[in-house]
Structure formats: C-alpha cells, structure tokens
Amino acid sequence: MRVVALAGGTGSAKLLRGLQAQGAELTVVANVGDNAWIYGVYVCPDVDIACYTLAGIADRTRGWGIRGDTFRMLDLMARAGTETWFKLGDRDLATCLARTQMLREGLTLTRATEAIAERLGTGCAVLPACDEPVQTVISTPGGELNLQEFWVREKGRPRALGVRYLGSARARPTARVREAVEKADIVVVCPANPVTSVGPSLAVPGFVRLLRSARRVVALSPMVGRSPFSGPAGKLMEATKAPPSSLGVAKLYSRFADAIVVSDRDAGLSQEIRGMGLACVTTDTMMSGPAGEARVAREVLAA
C-alpha cells in the first residue's frame, strides 16, 4: 500500500511510527512553516523530527531533536554572550549545517532533505511540502512573531490575534510531492496542528487541488475535547476563528478529506462532522506505546 503522510512535529511522530510498522510504502510530506534561520543555519523542525523518528533516533521524551544529544555548542555560545533560547543540540546542529551547506551549493530543499533522510536511514522518502520558503507568522499585541519565536522564545504566552503564511503565494507543490500524492493509495493527515503544521501547506496554491485529486484522504484529529495532543493548536485555531475541537479540524479539512478519525471522547461530534460530508470514525486516539501507534495507524488506513 502506498501511503503519503502529511506531517507536522511532535504530534505526528507517533502516527509515522505506526504507519512505518504497517510495512506501508511511506512518503512523508513535512511542513515547512516552522523553518527558520537560527545560529546561522537553516533549521527545519518538522522535516527533522520526521527523519529522526523514522531513523529511530528521535528524542521521544522531548518530542524534538536527537536522543542523547549534547548541547556543548550552545554552552559556548551562551558564554560568548549570545542568546540561546532555541536548544539546538550538537548532532541536530550537524544535520542543519549539512542542509545549509547543500542549500548554499544550490540544491533545493527537496534534494537536501532526500539526501539527509537517506543518510540517516529513514527507509522511506521524506519531502518538504514545497521548496520555496513559507513561514508561519503569528500576529500578537507586541508584533508579528515566527513560530519558533512565539512557541519557544515566548513559550506560547502572547495573545494570538491572527496567523498568516508569508511567501505562500509564490510557492508551489514540488514535482516529487505531486508524484507521491498521485501514486498514493491513501493520503494521511497526521495529528498535527491544523493551523501551523498543515495550514502552511494548504496555503500553497495548487496544494488543496492536489489533495482533492488523491484517491483517498483520511485525517487523524489532534484534538481531544478542546485540547490538542501537544502544542498550541487550540489557541491558534481560535485566532483563525476555527472552533478549537475536532469539529474545527473537520471544518478546515472538509474541502479535501474523505474521512476523519476522532477521539471516542468526541463521539458526540460525529453526526455534525458527517453533515459536512466527511466519514467519521471514533477510536481511542491516544497512541500509547508501539502497540497503540500501530493500532491507530491500522484504523486510519481502514477508515
């Protein structure tokens, strides 16, 4: 079975592991809206967490970076008086340095990502949603912040007034992403923040049309009640006027998805979701341990 997984950060990793365990021919299309130039290197958190997860080296407790990584480079930068609020590990820095060098040599982000994924041993293709820079920008009372400034530096505290995707109008789905979606038996939207992890890709002209042409699109909601598995999804959904619940996720995805899998605790929403033209499956969406990840992946593929 050919599976394309649209993936964000921490919340997506568990489903990616579950899909990998199914022996599916997997292609990951990772969000680029969180990418940022930090410490002189190009950091791509969602691309990297997908690569580290599939290569079996991700730090599962933190939800980002590499297991057992050290932070010596940051210690010295702090001693030199530089701000070090973004905890980029030493081995993680190596990935970012390699990527930055490849980009400076003229490779596209797609080519650089494919090379990194292969060398890390992901066993499947990892692709950025697009090659052009698309940046999630959050409007707050103190001004606009990128996702890392909002979430890591400011700890997600500022009031979010709105969200825009800087650069999206000039971006296009890459040929590799098009080909993967066209050949896929199913496109799975991982339980990622719909505003910051899926929204940047949907804002790319032609991306929603591409998803509509897919054989089947199934999403796993990241929400249980009004809370996401992780991260600021609820707050940012409210900022974009979407109800912070699986109902809001279904509304955002109803223009391209065939089905959505939601928590059995939200079973009460199923009828309204079906009214939007989506099939709705309810299950225990908390993926605890490898068995839980595999079970939910099987249910998503069968939905």
- The least CB distance from residue 110 to ligand FO1, in Å, is 18
Give the binding range for ligand FO1 (CB under 6 A) out of 68-76, 87-95, 162-170, 257-265: 87-95
9 binds ligand FO1 (CB under 6 A): yes
**Residues 282-301, interacting with ligand FO1 (CB under 6 A):** none
Query: Could you write out the DSSP letters of every residue in the chain?
Result: -EEEEEE-SHHHHHHHHHHHHTT-EEEEEE--TT-EEETTEEE-HHHHHHHHHHTT-B-TTTSSSBTT---HHHHHHHHTT----S---HHHHHHHHHHHHHHHTT--HHHHHHHHHHHHT-SSEEEES-SS--EEEEEETTEEEEHHIIIIISTT-SPP-EEEEETGGG----HHHHHHHHH-SEEEE-S--IIIIIHHHHTSTTHHHHHHTSS-EEEE--EETTEESSSSHHHHHHHTT--SSHHHHHHHHTTT-SEEEEEGGGGGGHHHHHTTT-EEEEE-----HHHHHHHHHHHHHH-
10 binds ligand FO1 (CB under 6 A): yes
151 binds ligand FO1 (CB under 6 A): yes
64 binds ligand FO1 (CB under 6 A): yes
46 binds ligand FO1 (CB under 6 A): yes
**Residues 170-229, interacting with ligand FO1 (CB under 6 A):** 197
149 binds ligand FO1 (CB under 6 A): no
| Of 3, 4, 7, 8, the one binding ligand FO1 by CB under 6 A | 8
Chain contacts with ligand FO1 (rule: CB under 6 A): 8-10, 34, 43, 45-46, 48, 64-65, 86-88, 92, 147-148, 151-152, 197
